[in-house]
Chains A and B, each alone.
Chain A
Amino acid sequence: MNKTIELNETPIRTSKNFNINNITLQNVPIPEHIENFENVTIINESSNIIINNSIKPYNLSYGLGSFLESQVKENANQTLNILVNGKSNNELIIEFDFDEDNLNLIENIQITAAENAKATIILTYKTIENIQAYHNSILRVKAENNANLNIIVVNLLNNDSYNFISIENELKEKANVHFTMVDFGGKNSITNYYSNLIGEEANNSLDSIYLGAEKQLFDLNYIGELYGKKSNMNIEVQGALKDSATKHFKGTIDFKKGCKKAKGNENESCMLLSDTAKSIALPVLLCSEEDVEGNHATSSGKIGEKELFYIMSRGFELKEARKIMVKAKFNTILENIKNEELKEEIIEQIDKKLD
C-alpha cells in the first residue's frame, strides 16, 4: 500500500510559503502484512539491565504524526522494555539487521534508568542484503534523578530504505542523557527527537551526524523544552551532503517559564559537496524566561579551499582530501562511540559514501 503522509510538525509554525512546518512524503510503501522481525542480536553482559516485552500505553508529546505513532502502538513486531539499575559499567548493544526475510521493523522501545543508574545503550540498524527496508520506531527514555545514560543510535540502512524514528526523553533532577545519532541511511530518514528537561540541573546533549548522497532526504526535527532550573540542552549537528541530497534541520530550544539559569545551545553546520545538494535550516529559540542563556549558530557552505589546498599539497587527491575533511568534522562526535568495531564500521561507511 503506497500512502502519502504529512509528518514531523515543528512545535511552532512559520510562514506556510517557507515549506518547513512539516514534510509531505508521497508514495511511502507502507507494509500491509507485518511478519516477525527475527534478525535481532542483543548483547547484554550486565545483570543490571533487565529486558522484558511489556510497555504500558502512552501518548507521544510530539512524534512523527498520528499515522506512524498508531502503527507502532498497534503493529509493533519488536517490543523491548529496558530497565537499568546500578552504576557499574553497564553496556547493552541491540543490533537489527534487515534482510530478505526481515524487511519490516516496527519497534517500540522504552528505556528506564533508575535513580543513580548508569549505562551505555547502542542501537544499530543495518541492511545486510540489497532490499528495501522499512523501519518505524518509537524510543522513549526516562532518566530518574542522577541517572546517566549514553545512548547511541546508528542508522546504516541502504539508500532505498525508509527510516522513521520518534524519540522522547524525560529527564529528572540532575539526570544526564547523552544521545549520539549517526544518520546515514534511507531514501528518507525522518527523525523526531524531543527532550523534556523537567528536573533541576537536568542535562541533555544531542550529537548528531548525517551524510547524504544520491537523492537522500533527511528531515531532522529536534526539540528541547527546558523547565528545570539550571537545566542544560545542547544540540550539535554536523553533516555533509553530496549529489542531490537534501537535509531539513529543524531545531527548537524552548525556555519555559521558571527555568532560571538554564542554558541552551544549538549548533548546526552543513558541508555542501555538490551544487545540487540542498540544506534547509530552521534553528528556533523560544524564550519566556529572563535569566537564561540561549545561543544558536548555523552555517552552510563548501569545504574551505585553503584547507583543501593544504591537504592536497600533501599528495592527496580531491576525493581523498574531502574524505579527510568530512571525517575531521565528524570526529568529535564519533569520539562518543567507544565501541571500536562499530566506529570502524561507521568510518568505512563514510569512505564508501564519499567514493
Chain B
Amino acid sequence: MKKTNIEEINRNIYDIKNKDEYEYKIKKGLTPEIISEISKQKNDPDWMREFRLKALDVYNSLELPTWGPDLSELNMDEIATYVRPKTNLNSSWDDVPEDIKNTFEQLGIPDAEKKSLAGVGAQYDSEVVYHSMKEELIKQGVIYTDMETAVREYPAMVKAHFMKCVPVYDHKFVALHGAVWSGGSFVYVPKGVKVDIPLQSYFRLNSPESGQFEHTLIIVDEGASLHFIEGCSAPKYNKVNLHAGCVELYVKDNASLRYSTIENWSKNMLNLNTKKAIVGKNAKMEWVSGSFGSKKSMLYPMSILNGEGSKTEFTGISFAGKGQNLDNGFKVVHNAPNTSSVVNAKSISKNGGTCTYRSLVKVSENAKNSKCSVSCESLMLDDISRSDTIPTNIIETDEVEFSHEAKIGKLSDKTIFYLMSRGLSEEDAKAMIVRGFAYPISKELPVEYAVEMNNLINLELQGAIG
C-alpha cells in the first residue's frame, strides 16, 4: 500500500494568539520572594502563603524524574508562573473583555454553555475570568466556583481537602504546583444531588513563556453524581510553556463522578499534570481522556479505590504527531474488597511522534475478590514514529482476577483493501479505521465533544486526505 505523508495540521482556532496583555505578570523564575509576591498578589490567607513556601522547599529538594520524556529543556528561570489577565471574575460573558471573549467564543464555550452544560468556568492565563452555573443547581446547594473564591468562602472545606489527595511530595511538579497554583475550579455536590448535565471548565493559556497551574478540587458527597468536563488549549509559541495543574477528586460513598478531558495544548507545551481520585464505598469514578496536544506530556490519572465495592473505569486515547512525546497512562490502587477497575487505553503515533502507555495496577492484600482488566492498543501509522507500552502490575492477593492485554500494530492492509473495494479512497479508508479505533473514547463524550474529537482526528489526518 502506498505510504501517505501526513502533514502537520493547521490547528486554526486553537492557534489564535491574542496580544500578550495582562494586568500583572510576575517576573520569571522561582524564589521565595517570587512565591511571596504571588501570594500577596492573590490575597492569600496566611496558611496558604505558608503552604506555598513549604511546597517550594519540597520542590527544591526533589529531583526530576529519571524516567519518561527528557525534561531538561525546562528552565524555570525562563517561566513566568503568574499572569493575571486584565479583568476580574465575571458572571456574564458581556463583561469579559472583547478579545478574551472572542477566543472563548471561537472555542465554542458560550455556545456549549447554552446547549449542553449546567455550568461553565473559563480560565485565561492564571485567573478565572468567567464562572456561572444554572440557578436550579445553586438552589440544590451545588457549589461551582473558582478556586480563589473557594479558599475565601469555604475555608474549612478547602483546608480539609486541598492537596490532601495529592500531597506536595508526590513528585517535583506537584510541589511546584503547590507553590505557584492559581485559578482552577471548586465543585461541591451535596449528598444525594444528581447533576445530570455536565459542568465544564476551560483553561486557556495565552501568555508566552509562562505557565498555567490551575487547581481543580471536586467533592461529590454521598450518593451524589456529577459529570465534569475539562478542556484546555493554547496558541503555539517558539519557547516552552508549562502546564502543571492538579486535580483532586473526592468521590464519597455511593457517589459517582465522570471526569472527561479533551487536551489540546499547543505543541510547545510541557504538560506535567497530576490527577487523582479517592473513591469511597460503592462509589464510581470514570475517566475519559483525549490527549492530542503538547510537546511532551506526562499524565497518569489515578484512582485510589479505598471503599469496599468501589469501581473505576479509564477510557483514554493519545494521538502523537511530529515532535510530540506523549507519555500517558493510568494508575489504580485497589485498597478494599470487591473493587473493580476496567482500563481501555489507545494510542496513535504518526509522523515521528512518540506515544507511551505507562501504568500502574496495584491490588493490595486487603482487596479480596477484586477484578481488574486492562486492554491497551497502539497504532503505528508510519515507520518513523514510536509506540511503547510500559505497564507495571503488582498483585498482592490471590483472590483477584487480573488480566492485561496489549497490542501494537499498523493499519491492516486487508482492512484497507476491504474498504477500498466499497469505493473509499485509501486516505478515506484509513481515516475511517482510525475514527473507528477512537470510537470507544468518543462515544463516552457528550455529542458536541465527540464531534470536536472527531474533528481533531480528521485535522490530524487531513494532510493525507487533502
- Residues of A participating in the B interface, judged by any CB pair closer than 8 Å: 12-16, 18, 20-21, 255, 257, 260, 270, 272-302
Contacts and interface: CB of A to CB of B under 8 A. Distances in A.
A293 B407 CA distance: 8
Interface of B: 65-67, 358, 360, 365, 368, 378, 380-383, 385-410
The 9 tightest CB contacts between A and B, nearest first, are A272-B398, A294-B408, A13-B67, A290-B383, A300-B395, A299-B403, A302-B398, A285-B389, A18-B392
Contacts of B358: 14-15
B302 to A, nearest CB: 11
B382 A288 contact: no
A164 B194 CA distance: 58
B398 A284 contact: no
Contacts of B401: 301
14 contacts: A257-B383, A281-B393, A283-B404, A284-B390, A285-B406, A286-B388, A290-B380, A290-B383, A295-B405, A295-B407, A299-B402, A299-B403, A302-B398, A302-B400
B392 A298 contact: no
B433 to A, nearest CB: 14
A281 B66 CA distance: 20
A280 B395 contact: yes
Contacts of A293: 408-409
Quick one: which of A12, A255, A272, A300 has the most chain B CB within 10 A? A300
B311 to A, nearest CB: 18
A260 B383 CA distance: 9
Contacts of A292: 380, 408-410
A283 B376 CA distance: 12
Nearest to A283: B391
Contacts of A257: 383
Nearest to A273: B398
Quick one: which of A14, A273, A288, A299 has the most chain B CB within 10 A? A14
B238 to A, nearest CB: 28
Nearest to A296: B406
Contact of B67 (A16, A260, A284, A295): A16
A287 B388 contact: yes
A292 B408 CA distance: 8
Nearest to B410: A290
Given A285-B389, A292-B410, 14 more contacts: A12-B390, A273-B398, A275-B397, A275-B398, A275-B399, A280-B392, A284-B391, A285-B408, A287-B388, A292-B380, A292-B409, A294-B408, A295-B408, A301-B401
A290 B403 contact: no
B389 A296 contact: yes
A277 B388 contact: no
Contact of A284 (B66, B360, B388, B409): B388
Contacts of B406: 283, 285, 294-297
A287 B349 CA distance: 11
A296 to B, nearest CB: 5
A282 B386 contact: no
Contacts of A294: 406-409
B206 to A, nearest CB: 33
B404 A280 contact: no
Contacts of B393: 279-283, 298, 300
A302 B397 CA distance: 9
Contacts of B396: 278
B291 to A, nearest CB: 18
Contacts of B402: 299-301
Nearest to A270: B395
Contacts of A14: 67, 358, 390, 392
Contacts of B404: 281, 283, 296-299
Contacts of A12: 67, 388, 390
A291 B382 CA distance: 8
Contacts of B65: 15-16
Contacts of A302: 398-400
A275 B370 CA distance: 13
Contacts of B387: 285, 287
A279 B395 contact: yes
A304 to B, nearest CB: 10
A290 B400 contact: no
A97 B282 CA distance: 56
A15 B67 CA distance: 6
Contact of A291 (B66, B360, B400, B410): B410
B429 to A, nearest CB: 17
Given A285-B389, A294-B409, A300-B402, A280 B394 contact: yes
Given A280-B392, A290-B385, A16 B66 contact: yes
A232 B171 CA distance: 39
B30 to A, nearest CB: 23
Nearest to A252: B390
Nearest to A293: B409
B94 to A, nearest CB: 47
Nearest to A269: B403
Contacts of B380: 287, 289-290, 292
A231 to B, nearest CB: 15
